[in-house]
């Protein structure tokens, strides 16, 4: 086969994977020799980190990203299906609860390296199955042309009879699933189901993703919506008339959701995988994510003078975050109910 034909065939296969698979991989020919990373974090942020790791270490990487609409859950379910014949070496998840599910199912290997050592105990598994880094907050994004960005104004809007001006992502995936799991754990299933039904009865606008929630608020279609800090900052940096209010539970706690990284049980590239894990858990990577447009909150020690002012403020709110490490049972029960609600 001619070189040009081979190149065009590869491009066609890659495009087909994007269109048909819902999950896509940035990898060229010979990908079987690369360290394979499944990544639920947005590629616009993650790719720069992973490519820099390649440049600094000489270790080539093949990355499989998730789609925005099925963020994190699609990759978690893929890893479960592949458990007996793993294709992934390292999983970079953008939340914790799916990672806890993988740990419970025996999908994750243990590793306690220097990266694990620098992260506080509340954000890592004691045995080293996973470690957290670079966190986000659940927030309300508010269109300031339509309402005030205060906790009082948010409460008033949420109590209104008509919620068609409020957006929320379908809670099957990502951080909205984490949000619902927290409420399931705190309130119990009956109260959460009643709250969910009440939102729908009052016309809340259910959208495909946090990014869509951000968009409809940014464009003034909705007055406010549930999203995360990384999506909020995308809207703010684009100079939309938006501000944010942290989502707080009844005792004032916030919902602070870390990225997590874990090695997959059965990887045959353990040494390279360990290097990537430590790289992601380094102060340098946490600072890079903090200074990126996503403004993620470092969990390990970093020089505070190197943090943007906005991230220092987020870190104070993140320190008030609810405990997430014991929510696996609540997450699994909540997800089973949500699938019965949304999946035919």
* pLDDT tens figures, 37-87: 999 998 888 999 999 999 999 999 999 998 655 555 789 999 999 999 999
Sorting pLDDT into bands at 50, 70 and 90, what band is 223?
very high
Domain that holds residue 147: 136-255+331-342
Could you tell me if 264 and 249 lie in one domain?
no
Residue 258's nearest CA partner among 63, 97, 66 is 97
The string of DSSP codes covering 1-36 is: --HHHHHHHHHHHHHHHHHHHSSEEE--TTGGGSEE
Query: Do residues 293 and 151 touch, judged by C-beta distance below 8 A?
Result: no
> Within a domain: residue 53?
yes
Residues 6+ apart with CB under 8 A from 186: 249, 250, 322
> Within a domain: residue 325?
no
Q: What is the pLDDT of residue 8?
A: 34
Could you tell me if 275 and 190 lie in one domain?
no
Number of domains making up the chain: 2
pTM across the whole model: 0.88
Q: What is the pLDDT of residue 343?
A: 84
Could you tell me if 243 and 111 lie in one domain?
no
> Within a domain: residue 265?
yes
pLDDT at 96 exceeding the cut of 50: yes
Could you tell me if 106 and 176 lie in one domain?
no
* Burial readout 290-320 (b: 16 or more C-beta within 10 A, e: otherwise): bebebbbbbbbebeeeebeeebeebbebbeb
Model confidence pLDDT, tens digit, residues 13-50 = 333 333 333 444 444 333 568 999 999 998 888 999 99
Helix, coil or strand: residue 73:
helix
Q: What is the pLDDT of residue 72?
A: 58
């Amino acid at each position: 086969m001619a070189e040009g034909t081979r190149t065009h065939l590869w491009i066609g296969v890659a495009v087909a994977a994007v269109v048909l698979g819902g999950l896509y991989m940035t990898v060229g020919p010979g990908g079987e020799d690369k360290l394979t990373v499944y990544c639920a974090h947005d590629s616009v942020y993650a790719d720069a980190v992973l490519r820099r790791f390649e440049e600094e270490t000489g270790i080539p990487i093949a990355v499989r990203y998730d789609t925005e609409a099925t963020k994190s859950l699609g990759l978690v379910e893929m890893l479960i299906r592949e458990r007996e014949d793993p294709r992934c070496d390292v999983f970079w998840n953008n939340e914790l609860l799916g990672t806890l599910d993988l740990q419970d199912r025996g999908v994750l290997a243990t590793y306690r390296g220097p990266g694990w050592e620098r992260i506080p105990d509340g954000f890592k598994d004691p045995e080293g199955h996973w470690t957290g880094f670079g966190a986000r907050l659940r927030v309300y994004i508010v269109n300031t042309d339509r309402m005030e960005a205060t906790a009082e104004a948010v409460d008033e809007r949420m109590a209104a009879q008509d919620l068609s001006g409020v957006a929320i992502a379908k809670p099957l995936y990502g951080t909205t699933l984490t949000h619902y799991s927290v409420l399931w754990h705190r309130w119990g299933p009956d109260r959460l189901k009643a709250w969910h039904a009440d939102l729908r009865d009052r016309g809340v606008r259910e959208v495909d993703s946090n990014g869509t929630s951000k968009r409809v608020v940014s464009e003034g279609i909705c007055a406010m919506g549930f999203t995360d800090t990384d999506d909020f900052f995308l809207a703010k940096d684009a100079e939309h008339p938006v501000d944010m209010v942290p989502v707080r539970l009844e005792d004032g706690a916030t919902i602070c959701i870390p990225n997590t990284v874990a090695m997959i049980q059965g990887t045959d590239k353990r040494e390279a995988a360990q290097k990537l894990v430590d790289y992601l858990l380094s102060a340098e990577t946490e600072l890079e994510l903090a200074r990126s447009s996503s403004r993620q909150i470092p969990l390990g020690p970093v020089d505070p003078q190197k943090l943007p002012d906005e991230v220092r403020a987020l870190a104070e709110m993140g320190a008030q975050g609810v405990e997430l490490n014991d929510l696996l049972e609540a997450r699994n029960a909540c997800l089973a109910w949500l699938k019965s609600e949304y999946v035919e």
